Amino acid sequence: MGTTERKEKEKNIRREDIINAAEKIFFLKGYESSTMDEVAKIAEYTKKTLYSYFQSKEQLLQAIIFRAYWTLNKIINTELSDKINLTGLAKLKLLGETFIQFTSRYPKYFETLVLYNSANSELSADDEFRKASDNEGEITLAYLVNVIKEGVSDNSIRSDIHIQKTAFVLYANIIGISSLVLNKEGYLMEQHLSAKKLIQEMFNLIERSIEK
């Protein structure tokens, strides 16, 4: 390995160390209550080193959002990769089950995606960390668009729907239901309702409204 490659590898390791430290403190104390000083301490780097990689706490948050979307997309890709014989509607149902799986396995990533998004970001749309998380989020939306397209093509989904609008409505419903789950957790427990049940029911309603 040459000098340039070694330096780049070391740089990537430090970057990942810092993001790992940010996850620990953000997930433990909450984003608003955490500080860059605490991130530097956990990462065992100086503040100068920390700020040479991330100029603000917001950039660190966007790096974590990117990880959350990347993790979700990896799970979706794994679930769909060998399901070529399923109809588009069946794949849409599978996406619902996959999202539920994601919320169970990665609850803090799930919470991060619901509570924070680039629409409320203080960062410029051109910021490298915001662009990365935005692009990964677009990949998630593209999975929805593609399975709906497949469903229209194979006649498992009605052809009179607007594919892009339907995907956006479904995506918005996922975020809305998820936000309700996080903000009304106590009430939902009293009603014997869970995130899994609500998200599954939401997908069932969508499926019944668009199936052919």
CATH of the domain at 48: 1.10.10.60
Domain stops at, among 39, 54, 69: 54
Closest CA to 64 of 124, 3, 113, 121: 113
Same domain, 61 and 145: yes
DSSP 211: B
pLDDT of 174: 80
Same domain, 42 and 62: no
Measured between alpha carbons, how far is 103 from 97 in angstroms, rounded to an integer? 10
Same domain, 3 and 40: yes
Q: Which two tokens stand for residue 169?
A: 């409505």
Same domain, 113 and 47: no
pLDDT by residue, tens only, the chain of 212 residues = 677 788 788 899 999 999 999 999 999 999 999 999 999 999 999 999 999 999 999 999 999 999 999 999 999 999 999 888 999 999 998 998 898 889 889 989 988 988 876 556 778 888 999 999 999 999 999 999 999 999 999 999 999 999 999 999 888 888 777 777 777 777 777 887 776 778 778 888 888 889 88
Query: Are 18 and 53 a contacting pair, CB within 8 Å?
Result: yes
Q: Which two tokens stand for residue 156?
A: 């498992």
Dump pLDDT digits (tens) for 14-44: 999 999 999 999 999 999 999 999 999 999 9
Same domain, 138 and 174: yes
Domain stops at, among 54, 75, 90: 54
Number of structural domains in the chain: 2
Structural domain harbouring 23: 1-54
Same domain, 48 and 118: no
Measured between alpha carbons, how far is 148 from 153 in angstroms, rounded to an integer? 9
Same domain, 142 and 69: yes
Measured between alpha carbons, how far is 98 from 104 in angstroms, rounded to an integer? 10
Identify the CATH number of the domain in which residue 62 sits: 1.10.357.10
Same domain, 3 and 90: no
Same domain, 48 and 71: no
Same domain, 26 and 61: no
Same domain, 39 and 80: no
Same domain, 156 and 80: yes
Specify the 3-state DSSP secondary structure of 78: helix
pTM of the entire structure? 0.88
Query: Are 94 and 80 a contacting pair, CB within 8 Å?
Result: yes
Measured between alpha carbons, how far is 96 from 202 in angstroms, rounded to an integer? 9
pLDDT of 125: 80
Q: What angle do CA 181, 184, 185 make, to 5 degrees?
A: 70
CA–CA distance from 122 to each of 51, 66, 162 (Å)? 17, 16, 32
